[in-house]
Structure 1
Amino acid sequence: MGLSHLGIFHTIIGVVAIIAACVSLFRSAKIDLGKLSGKIYFYFTLIASLSALGLSSVKGVNPGHILALLIVILILWAYYLHVRKPGNNRSRFFENFFLSFSFFLSLLPAVNETFTRVPVGHPLASGPADPLIAKTLLTLFLLFLVSSILQFRNQRRINNASC
C-alpha cells in the first residue's frame, strides 16, 4: 500500500470522521454539532483535512490541497453558525448544507484512494478515471442531493413549529 506515517494517521482520522458522520446522519438525519457524533465529525474532519495538506505525490499545491481547504472552510463556517446563531432559524439551513457538502467532498478522495488501493495487489479501480469510481461518485452525489432536500424540508418543519 505504501502509505507514509502521515498517510496512515490521515486515513485513520478520516475513517473515524466518516463513521461519525454516518452515525450522526442515521440518528439525527443531519450532522448535528450539538451531539457527540457531530463533534467527532467536526474535529476529526478538521484534523484529516489539515493533515491532507502534508500529503502529495507531486510537488506544490494540487487539487487535493484545494479540496482539503474547501472542506476546512465549510466546517468552520458551519461551526460558526452553530455557535453564534443558535436556535431554529435560517442559519440551520446553511449549517446543515455546509456539513453535508463537506461530508460529500470528503468522500471524493476516500472513494478514489480506496478503490485504487483495495484489495492490495488487485485494486477495484485502475485510476481516478475508472468508470467504477465515476459511477460510485455519481451515486454518492445523488444521495447527497436527496439528503440535502430532506434536511431542508425537515429543518423548515422544525423552524415553522418553533414560531
Structure 2
Amino acid sequence: MFGLTTLGTLHTAISLVALWAGYQSLLQRGAIDPRQRLGQVYLWSTVLTCLTGFGIFQRGGFNEAHMLGVLTLLVVGLALLPLRARAWPYAQTVLWTLTLFFHMVPGLTETFMRVPLGAPLFAGPDDPKLKASVGVVFLVFAVVMAAQVLRMRRRQRATPLGAAALRP
C-alpha cells in the first residue's frame, strides 16, 4: 500500500497514534503532559515511531529523517528531565509541542510524496512547495507554543501559590 514496507506500515500506524494523542492532548489540556494518560500514549508512541523509523531506508542509508528521529529522542529525553529551574515548566511545555512539530515534517513529506495517487503534491524531499509547507506548519506551531507560555504565565499570576499553575 502506497509503496510502504511492512515496517513502514507499522511505523506509519504508530506515528498516527502519536499524532492523535498529541493533538488530543493539545485540544483537551492545552499541552502535552506525560504525567497524563494521553501524554503517556504520546510519549511511548513517539519513542516507538523514532525507533521503527531507524529501520526504514527507502532513500538509501542514514539520512535527514533518521537525524530527525535522533533529535526527537534527544528532545523527549530533555523534556523528561526533572529540573527545578523556574522557567523549566515553560521549556518542557514548548519541548513537548516541538516534538509534535517534528512528527509533522516526515508526515508531510512522506504523505504528500505519495498522495494523491498518480499525482503527488510534492515531487521529493527537496520540493520548494514542501519546504514552504513545513515553514507554514512551523509558524503555526510557533504560535501554539507562544500561546501555551502565555497561558501558563496568566495562570501563574492568577494562582496564589504560583508554582501550581505552571503545570501544563
TM-score (norm 1): 0.88
Say yes or no: does 1:68 pair with 2:65: no
Matches within 5 A, 1:28-47: 28-47=29-48
Query: Where does 1:6-155 land on structure 2 (aligned, <5 Å)?
Result: 6-81=7-82, 89-155=86-152
1:128 positional shift = 2.0
In structure 2, distance between residues paired with 1:95 and 1:80: 9
> Which deviates more from structure 2 when the two are superposed, residues 25-34 or residues 52-61?
52-61
For this pair of structures, how many residues does the alignment match? 159
Contact 1:89 1:159 in 2 (8 A): no
Distance 2:134 2:35 in 1: 29
Greater mean alpha carbon deviation, residues 88-97 or residues 21-30:
88-97
TM-score, normalised to structure 2, is 0.86
Backbone CA RMSD of aligned residues: 1.9
Alpha-carbon distance, 1:59 to partner: 4.3
List alignment gaps of at least 5 residues for structure 1: none
Give the distance between the partners of 2:98 and 2:108, measured in 1 at CA.
Answer: 15
Q: Percent identity?
A: 30
Deviation at 1:58, TM superposition (A): 4.3
Q: Which runs of 4+ in 1 moved over 6 A?
A: none
Q: One-letter code of the match for 2:156?
A: N
Whole-Å Cα distance in 2 between the matches of residues 158 and 106 of structure 1? 29
**Where does structure 2 lack aligned partners over 5 or more consecutive residues?**
163-168
One-letter amino acid matched to 1:10: H
C-alpha displacement at 1:89, in angstroms?
4.8
Q: Distance in 1 between matches of 2:34 and 2:86?
A: 15
Tell me, in whole angstroms, the C-alpha distance in 1 between the residues paired with 2:128 and 2:143: 23
